[in-house]
Structure 1
Amino acid sequence: MTATAGLRRTLRQDAPAGHPSLRTTAAQVPTLLLLAWGALFVNVLTPSGNPTIIPVPHALNQLVAQGSLLAALVLALLVNPRVVVRPTLFLVLVSVMAVVALAVSIHSDFLFGSTYRAFRLIGFVTCLWLLSPWWGRRDLVLLRVHRICLWVAVGSVVVGAALAPGKAFSSAGRLSGAIWPMPPPQVAHYAAVLLGTSAILWMCRVIGGRHALLGIVPSVGVLLGTHTRTALIGTIAGVAFAAASLFLGHARVRRASLWTLVVGGAAGALFAPYIVTWAARGQTVEEASQFTGRTKVWQASMHAEQPLATKMFGNGLSNKSFDGLPVDSNWVASYLDIGWFGIAVQVTFLLLLVVMAVTHVRGVRRAIALFLIVYCIVASVTETGTGDASTYLLDLVVAAALLVPEPGNRVR
């Protein structure tokens, strides 16, 4: 079976049994769209330094990840040769952020690195515009394509852990990618989104029980193996908001919520010592309260003396560090890179998505979008992403695509 046939079969498995309006056939999903989104996904797979089964130089991993953006642009032009775009306020705001980031980066002390990152963000956003005609489709095509990428990422982690558990758990006992060098927080992100979307699609009867289990069970194992607390909290919060939006209209959601509370409460009481040990990750209470030392970096970076113009517009896109230490917070990193202006833009498009979700008709599209929005907001506390090209930005794009009205004419 070819790779294309395998992708198409996965799409058929994702097609709902009881919702003809959401059913997708292979002919309705352009292969080039799958490849373009996959190239965007690879572009934001930030390679880490953890060991892999086949040792590959870090420079080569970076070349593959960053070079895939050019492939994504070419594929997006092939799938949308007439350059038809669908204007949306969300993409306008993201574009404004990218343009300002480029203007600031040109005047950065680290001219080459900052400008390169800014042009990369411009290319990333351009590709999103080229794929905008597929927003709002009733067959949830962008969500399906995104889930395929998550399947591949999580599947590679599971295979890597099975083949080389020593390398997979080499990051202080936390599960990481042993085939592609993905750090534990990134692995947790992919598992969390696959887990949450699978659970919601099952609650809405869009996918069957066996298909849901194939997405939920491995994702739970991978998520717990990464020991990433933020991803777990984000998943629980996101699924809770999504379930609340469906509670009155879906009996399955009410039953699942009740059983989750009963089983979760019993498991919490029975395995409380193990849960505390897992959450502590060998840290003291003080270390945990400081987010593993992150708060010290946050305070130092926010209180650093800087000119007013730098506070307003930042220093240009960076590697998300301060004095050589990782920032690990979207909001602090955004302040350093694009200042209070960048933070204001991000808050605006997040609030826009929240308003769109609250005012959207009840159903699977609103529930999935709510999950993605809430998850990204929770994760933004200790992860960077919404101010630069990242998987978090792809998650929010999928959420926005689910919330916009259905287009009158579809691109084929």
Structure 2
Amino acid sequence: MGRDLMRSGPPGGPDTAGSQAGAGPRPAGTPKAVGIVWALLALNTLGSAGAKTIIPLPRSLIQLATMGALGAAFALALVLNLRLRIRASAFVFLLTLLLVPSVISSANLEVGYGALFRCTRLALFVGSLWLLSRWWDGSMTFVRYHIRMYFAVLVLVAAGLVVSPGTAMPEYYGGRLVGALWPLTPPQIGQYAAVIIGLTVLLLLGRRTTGAGAALVIVPSLVLLAMTHTRTATLGLIVGLVPAIGSLVLTSAAARRFFAWTVLCATVAAVVFSSALQAWFLRGQSQENFSNLTGRAKVWDALLAAPRTPGEKALGTGLGDKSFGGLPIDNSWLAVYHEQGLIGVTIVAAILIVLGGVALLRPPSLPRACAIFLISYVAISSYTEAGLGDASPYLLHLALAASLLAAPAAAPLSTAAALRRRIPLWARR
């Protein structure tokens, strides 16, 4: 993936002195095993339902692997943080609050025992984030973990495409790219590709990787993104990068040049390839089908029109599979309303508002730009994708944003300095 991009710190080694923008002193460093915990959390959010694979994998086996990954992540995080040292985090605190309506509504068992199972999964996910918060210091460490994990997933997708092109681009998905070795849907692949493309572009502008290393990630990811025909991921990438790069324009000449060239190339492409871009965007659908968001609007209308008790309006019906009437909801806000009620919607809105507000108050820096990109991407995707109310890649993206917005950890005092603090001023003379 490029040596500079894969390193755990900026060029020249980790910034222990805090001289790099957004980096804080990390005397003890971040253990390498923390990256394993992050990868296990990402593995858990890959899901167990999707496309048909080359070798049929029983769903129970996939669920065992994903849940085993979450259990291993929590256990390893606990081993790494036996003293339970955590950092204050409004993001994780609000996620913890989200557990309350989830557990209360799921305890009614209206959606079966699977609701309590999903509550346990969410609790382990949030608990792992609390344990990892000890190493959230505003550095780029977790960004590199994020890119590595999802690039590895894309490599798996590309391998499936090479081994069996017909399975990887099936007719029942309209010839869109799916996971042939692991059951991944086109929106999932598009999401992973868009996120690591955006983060890698920002690393390149921040001079935290080389052009060759960035190209090794961006070029194949762009090809896979185009093959998925995922409009949400594409829009999220574009819309997310605009404010992120805009936050660097005043302090980075590279960001200004990139922004200017991007605008120029986009304008030329819109004029020259307008018909091709329109055809790609419509994916062969009629204008009517496109206007109701591929049938999503019908499910949304039915969900909103369904009768609900006051308790269901406030707390929801319990954590389910993000579907209504057997059809996917495909909207984070309506999914949260359906499963966790208005209380859940309020908490999720507070998460985005708090993260966005903190990002706006931070001085310009590369970590801030990455956080803005992630928050913007998740906000755009929430309209046509579900996941903000349960353990999902979207919550992991927001957790990464929270780690980037955390205040740098203070360097511990030396023994001499600590002793001087204990000596009264009158005794030092």
The alignment's TM-score, normalised by the length of structure 1, stands at 0.93
Residue 115 (structure 2) aligns with: 114
Residue 30 (structure 1) aligns with: 31
**Superposed displacement of residue 285, structure 1:** 0.7
Residue 331 (structure 1) aligns with: 333
CA–CA distance in 2 between the matches of 1:18 and 1:260? 31
**What are the Cα deviations for residues 373-394 of structure 1, in whole angstroms up to 9, with x where unaligned?**
0000000001011111001000
Is the CA contact 1:17–1:206 (under 8 Å) kept in the aligned structure 2?
Answer: no
**Superposed displacement of residue 13, structure 1:** 7.7
Residue 81 (structure 1) aligns with: 82
Is the CA contact 1:7–1:148 (under 8 Å) kept in the aligned structure 2?
Answer: no
1:148 and 2:159 correspond: no
Is the CA contact 2:77–2:132 (under 8 Å) kept in the aligned structure 1?
Answer: yes
1:269 and 2:264 correspond: no
1:173 and 2:168 correspond: no
Is the CA contact 1:121–1:389 (under 8 Å) kept in the aligned structure 2?
Answer: yes
- 1:224 alignment partner, SS class: helix
**Superposed displacement of residue 237, structure 1:** 0.5
CA–CA distance in 2 between the matches of 1:341 and 1:137? 30
CA–CA distance in 2 between the matches of 1:313 and 1:387? 12
1:227 and 2:226 correspond: no
Q: Which residue identity is paired with 1:15?
A: P
CA–CA distance in 2 between the matches of 1:136 and 1:233? 30
Higher mean alpha-carbon deviation, 12-21 vs 123-132, is at 12-21
Structure 1 residues 17 and 223: CA distance shift in structure 2, 3 A:
farther
Residue 421 (structure 2) aligns with: none
**Superposed displacement of residue 19, structure 1:** 8.7
- 2:299 alignment partner, SS class: helix
What does 1:151-166 correspond to in 2, within 5 Å? 151-166=151-166
Structure 1 residues 33 and 305: CA distance shift in structure 2, 3 A:
same
**What are the Cα deviations for residues 174-211 of structure 1, in whole angstroms up to 9, with x where unaligned?**
11111211111011110000000011111111111111
Residue 314 (structure 1) aligns with: 316
Higher mean alpha-carbon deviation, 351-360 vs 52-61, is at 52-61
CA–CA distance in 1 between the matches of 2:377 and 2:194? 9
Is the CA contact 1:320–1:326 (under 8 Å) kept in the aligned structure 2?
Answer: yes
CA–CA distance in 1 between the matches of 2:332 and 2:83? 36
Is the CA contact 1:49–1:181 (under 8 Å) kept in the aligned structure 2?
Answer: yes
Residue 44 (structure 1) aligns with: 45
Residue 290 (structure 1) aligns with: 292
Q: Which residue identity is paired with 2:150?
A: L
Residue 7 (structure 2) aligns with: 12
**What are the Cα deviations for residues 124-173 of structure 1, in whole angstroms up to 9, with x where unaligned?**
100110100111243x2222111111111111112221222111111321
**What are the Cα deviations for residues 50-104 of structure 1, in whole angstroms up to 9, with x where unaligned?**
2223332222112111221111111111221211111211111110001321121
**Superposed displacement of residue 28, structure 1:** 4.0
CA–CA distance in 2 between the matches of 1:133 and 1:34? 13
1:300 and 2:302 correspond: yes
1:370 and 2:383 correspond: no
Q: Which residue identity is paired with 2:158?
A: V
CA–CA distance in 2 between the matches of 1:257 and 1:194? 19
Residue 104 (structure 1) aligns with: 105
**Superposed displacement of residue 8, structure 1:** 9.4
Structure 1 unmatched ranges of 5 or more: 1-5
CA–CA distance in 1 between the matches of 2:14 and 2:81? 28
CA RMSD of aligned residues (A): 2.1
CA–CA distance in 1 between the matches of 2:59 and 2:105? 28
Is the CA contact 2:161–2:168 (under 8 Å) kept in the aligned structure 1?
Answer: yes
Is the CA contact 1:19–1:206 (under 8 Å) kept in the aligned structure 2?
Answer: no
Q: Which residue identity is paired with 2:80?
A: V
Is the CA contact 2:48–2:59 (under 8 Å) kept in the aligned structure 1?
Answer: yes
CA–CA distance in 2 between the matches of 1:57 and 1:310? 34
Is the CA contact 1:353–1:373 (under 8 Å) kept in the aligned structure 2?
Answer: yes
Q: Which residue identity is paired with 2:343?
A: F
Select the structure of larger CA radius of gyration: 2
**What are the Cα deviations for residues 281-338 of structure 1, in whole angstroms up to 9, with x where unaligned?**
1111111111100000001101111111111110010101111111111011001000
What does 1:189-228 correspond to in 2, within 5 Å? 189-228=191-230
CA–CA distance in 2 between the matches of 1:53 and 1:107? 39
Structure 1 residues 383 and 7: CA distance shift in structure 2, 3 A:
same
Structure 1 residues 17 and 214: CA distance shift in structure 2, 3 A:
farther
Residue 91 (structure 1) aligns with: 92
Q: Which residue identity is paired with 1:16?
A: P
**What are the Cα deviations for residues 15-43 of structure 1, in whole angstroms up to 9, with x where unaligned?**
33599545999x94423212111111111
Structure 1 residues 405 and 53: CA distance shift in structure 2, 3 A:
same
- Number of aligned residues: 403
**Superposed displacement of residue 108, structure 1:** 3.2
Residue 3 (structure 1) aligns with: none
Structure 1 residues 7 and 243: CA distance shift in structure 2, 3 A:
closer
Higher mean alpha-carbon deviation, 324-333 vs 105-114, is at 105-114
Structure 1 residues 135 and 390: CA distance shift in structure 2, 3 A:
same
The alignment's TM-score, normalised by the length of structure 2, stands at 0.90
What does 1:229-244 correspond to in 2, within 5 Å? 229-244=231-246
Higher mean alpha-carbon deviation, 148-157 vs 361-370, is at 148-157
**What are the Cα deviations for residues 187-236 of structure 1, in whole angstroms up to 9, with x where unaligned?**
11100000000111111111111111112111111111111101100100
**What are the Cα deviations for residues 241-296 of structure 1, in whole angstroms up to 9, with x where unaligned?**
10111111111111111111111111121111111111111111111111100000
1:247 and 2:255 correspond: no
- 2:232 alignment partner, SS class: helix
CA–CA distance in 1 between the matches of 2:270 and 2:12? 35
CA–CA distance in 1 between the matches of 2:408 and 2:183? 38
CA–CA distance in 2 between the matches of 1:13 and 1:70? 25
Is the CA contact 1:73–1:127 (under 8 Å) kept in the aligned structure 2?
Answer: yes
